[in-house]
Amino acid sequence: MIKFLFSLLLGCATLQAQPGMNLQAVRDIRLQNLKRDYTGSTIRFIVPGSTSVMGVLKDVTDKNFIISHNGSPAVYGHKEINYIFVDPGFTGKVMAFGVGLIGGAASYMAVIIAKENANASWKGVASSLGIALGGRMGFKTFYKPIKIDISGKTRE
């Protein structure tokens, strides 16, 4: 009985502690992590008015983002911005392209193994389909932007 009451009180304390967290403190920590991890990376975000902004992150201050947009610095307030997107770089494209090439090679090998005297048109069609399907799978898997929540909310 004592264990049950202790578990119940511990569960209630945990559930009640999270809504009482300081949302600004959580937001500040997330902004510091953004500055530490993604300075120099290309980021995207949507400002109020549904305008998408893209640039290289230079600095994060208490109230603003400083990004390089077309070679010149631009300052945007981050008070009403909840999410930042970091687009994949060159390695994501290479990974997606590599999966497409593996798909093409695998389909070519499958035609050679499955059909004893496969003609060139079978090999070409199978390779093309393999490259297309493998490339699509590679881009869906490896070429996704990273979504970073800077809203300060601890629960959805």
Range 56-74 burial, b when 16+ CB lie within 10 A, else e: bbeebeeeebbbeeeeeee
- Residues above pLDDT 70, as percent of the chain: 87
Q: How far apart are CA 69 and CA 48, in angstroms?
A: 18
What average pLDDT does range 137-151 have in this prediction? 87
For residue 135, count other CB atoms closer than 10 A to its CB: 19
- Residues above pLDDT 90, as percent of the chain: 22
Q: Assess contact for 102 and 134: CB atoms under 8 A.
A: yes
What average pLDDT does range 131-141 have in this prediction? 92
Q: Residue 133: beta bridge partners? A: none
What average pLDDT does range 43-60 have in this prediction? 87
Q: Assess contact for 57 and 41: CB atoms under 8 A.
A: yes
Q: What is the pLDDT of residue 3?
A: 77
Fold of 22-87: SH3 type barrels. (2.30.30)
Domain chopping of the chain, boundaries: 22-87, 90-142
What average pLDDT does range 48-54 have in this prediction? 84
Q: Which are the contacts of 3, defined by CB distance < 8 A and separation ≥ 6?
A: none
The 10s digit of each residue's pLDDT in 88-120 is 888 888 999 999 999 999 999 999 998 888 888
Q: Residue 67: beta bridge partners? A: 57, 74
